[in-house]
Amino acid sequence: MKKKIADSLRKRFYWELSPLDEDMIASLSEKPHELTRSSNEALEVLEDVREVRVQRAQEQEQEMYRQIHRWSHASGVKIIRSMYRVLAAVTCLGIVFFLLWTVNTLPPFGEPENPYNNEVFARYVEWGPDETGAVNMVTGMILDYRAFDTFGEASVLFVAACSVLFLLKLHDHKDGKPTKTWLEAEYDDRFHEPKNDQILQFAAKLMVPVVLLFGFYVILNGHITPGGGFSGGAIMGAGLILYLNAYGFKKTERFFTYRTFQWITFGSLLTYAGLKSYSFYTGANHLESFVSPGTPGNILSAGFILPLNLCVGLVVMCTMYVFYTLIRKGGV
């Protein structure tokens, strides 16, 4: 009888029996001797016995819980902490070992027998300058052979800027009045902003024109010297951020507002798509374009690479600047 009930209970709950359960099983399976006499006294005695048993079982359980609690607060924490450190070190060393082992199996740098020295590479080196007109082979590759991939990259930047706008831009006007959050953000920024820092302003006065010119030079010479749209755009964006830090939003809002950002990004991406869309109509065979590559090495050469570089550079510059202003103030 007792075993049967215990089995059924175990089937039901699938766990070890606690003292309380055992007591219940014991009391259930017991033959009620006293009940046969059917007297009230016997019933009361039975009740008392049960109460005492339940109380004892409860105390046992509580003592067990207390022990577990004590263990987890004293030695358990120590064990888990040391385990955490050991596991972290083991994982770190394991990853380091795995990466070093992988690097060790790579072919050595700059050997002629390396697997990337195949016919694709040879064709790019041999025909690249003639077909694209770009002396800088990297730019020729990313803006002519694989211009569609670069269009995807520029779109990724645009989408990233859009998501940051969704997340961080505060509504500056509602029903013709500036909103409260916008005013608070503006006040907070004005309060923390270093005002009229002489050293910073003098340094910016010297550096910003040079930085902007250098960025523009890198963009324009993307097909001749190392560089191109992305790096030049990042340099120009850094220059704009420096100017903003030195002179504040009032000076930059004269030439760069939210509307400027919208139009520059939109126009650049549209120009890029328009200049490269003819490859769709020629069946992705966009090498034979109607614009001649010109003399490799001249500034006005390499077909569409110069305007494409300009487009990418403008998109990157605007994205960098807008990231900064959005994080700082919640607006452009």
Pull the structure tokens for residue 278.
């003819």
Give, as one character, the DSSP assignment of residue 196: S
Q: 3-state SS of 108-164?
A: CCCCCCCCCCCHHHHHHHHHHHHHHCCCCHHHHHHHHHCHHHHHHHHHHHHHHHHHH
Tell me which residues in 285-324 interact with other proteins (CB under 8 A).
320, 323-324
Percentages (nearest 5) of helix, strand, coil residues in the chain: 75, 0, 25
Which of 76, 178, 226, 297 binds other proteins (CB under 8 A)? It is: 226
Tell me whether residue 155 is exposed, middle or buried, using C-beta atoms within 10 angstroms of its C-beta: 0 to 12, 13 to 18, 19 or more. Answer: middle
Q: Contact between 94 and other proteins (CB under 8 A)?
A: no
The least distance separating other proteins from the CB of residue 80, rounded to whole angstroms, comes to 22
Q: Contact between 182 and other proteins (CB under 8 A)?
A: no
Piece of the chain touching other proteins by CB under 8 A; list 8-16, 134-142, 150-158, 199-207:
134-142
- Nearest to 287, CA basis, from 148, 116, 155: 148
Which of 192, 250, 254, 259 binds other proteins (CB under 8 A)? It is: 192
Pull the structure tokens for residue 209.
């024109």
Name the residue nearer to other proteins (CB basis): 139 or 268: 139
Which of 57, 208, 238, 314 binds other proteins (CB under 8 A)? It is: 238
Q: At what angle do helices 147-168 and 305-329 cross, to 10 degrees?
A: 20
Residue whose pair of structure tokens reads 């955490």 in the numeric block: 84
Which of 5, 17, 46, 138 binds other proteins (CB under 8 A)? It is: 138
The least distance separating other proteins from the CB of residue 105, rounded to whole angstroms, comes to 18
Piece of the chain touching other proteins by CB under 8 A; list 81-89, 135-143, 276-284, 292-300:
135-143
The least distance separating other proteins from the CB of residue 88, rounded to whole angstroms, comes to 12
Q: Which parts of this chain interact with other proteins (CB under 8 A)?
A: 109, 136, 138-139, 192, 218, 226-228, 230-231, 234-235, 237-238, 241, 320, 323-324, 327-328
